[in-house]
């Protein structure tokens, strides 16, 4: 018999590949209005998004063996906080572009949009408001 573990999140960790860690960190700091913590692990440079110790976390990652950024790979959604409109208003000034404008989801699911970051990654933004 195998033990069953109850999971609170489908995702534990994510990594967004980047070519230029400085440029990408500057973009995401401006976009989300929150600092990222820089770390070096195993030949990689990370810029870690703020997250609760028990919550889902993730980072930007740069290094010689990191895959190229992609506009068609796995799509992750970052929390845009209480106002998706406020975050979308910062996309262009931060060096990115909106690829899917704000879409209202049914019921109380909130809304989302897609952006292209400075590295060419497609990233989703979600807000419950």
| pLDDT 10s digits, 18-75 | 999 999 999 999 999 999 999 999 899 999 999 887 778 999 999 999 999 999 888 9
Residue 58 belongs to a domain: yes
CATH value at residue 74: 3.10.180.10
Residue 86 belongs to a domain: yes
User: Structural domain tally of the chain?
Assistant: 1
Residue 3 belongs to a domain: no
Residue 120 belongs to a domain: yes
- Smallest CA-to-CA distance from 99 within 122, 78, 118 is with 122
Using DSSP, state whether 86 is helix, strand or coil.
helix
Q: Burial of 4 by CB count in 10 Å (0-12 exposed, 13-18 middle, 19+ buried)?
A: exposed
Structural domain span for residue 103: 13-127
Rounded CA gap, 47 and 36, in Å?
A: 5
Residue 105 belongs to a domain: yes
Residue 2 belongs to a domain: no
Residue 122 belongs to a domain: yes
The pLDDT tens digits for 76-127 are: 999 999 999 999 999 999 999 999 999 999 999 999 999 999 999 999 999 9
């Amino acid at each position: 018999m195998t033990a069953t573990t109850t999971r609170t999140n489908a995702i534990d960790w994510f990594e967004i590949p980047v070519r230029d860690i400085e440029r990408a960190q500057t973009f995401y700091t401006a976009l989300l209005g929150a600092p990222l913590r820089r770390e070096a692990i195993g030949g990689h440079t990370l810029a870690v998004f703020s997250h609760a110790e028990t919550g889902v976390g993730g980072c930007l990652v740069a290094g010689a063996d990191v895959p190229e950024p992609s506009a068609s790979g796995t799509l992750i959604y970052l929390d845009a906080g209480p106002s998706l409109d406020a975050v979308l208003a910062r996309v262009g000034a931060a060096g990115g572009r909106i690829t899917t404008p704000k879409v209202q989801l049914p019921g109380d699911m909130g809304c989302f949009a897609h952006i292209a970051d400075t590295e060419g990654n497609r990233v989703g933004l979600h807000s419950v408001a």
